[in-house]
Amino acid sequence: MIAGGGPAGVARLPTGLLTGLLVVVRDGRGADVSDDGERALGRVPGSFAFGAYGAETAAAGRWS
């Protein structure tokens, strides 16, 4: 580490932005669940669970 910044060769601004983002994520800020997706879509959003999206899309014939 260099004094007042991140590792040698890493600019101070991106290091500060990334540190700020990671602190917010670590502290759990912004983790509230909302219905914004449902309100924007006008329906319940589908699942992106591993494998489910691909299987449903292929079965519907959207991929050929």
pTM over 0.75: no
Q: What is the pLDDT of residues 40-60, one digit of tens each?
A: 999 988 777 777 888 888 888
Mean pLDDT of the chain: 80
CA contacts within 13 A on the Cβ side of 46: 9
Most trustworthy range by pLDDT among 1-5, 10-14, 42-46: 42-46
pLDDT of residue 27: 92
Q: Per-residue confidence at 23, pLDDT binned at 50, 70, 90? A: very high
Alpha helices of 28-61 — where are they, by DSSP H?
36-41, 52-59
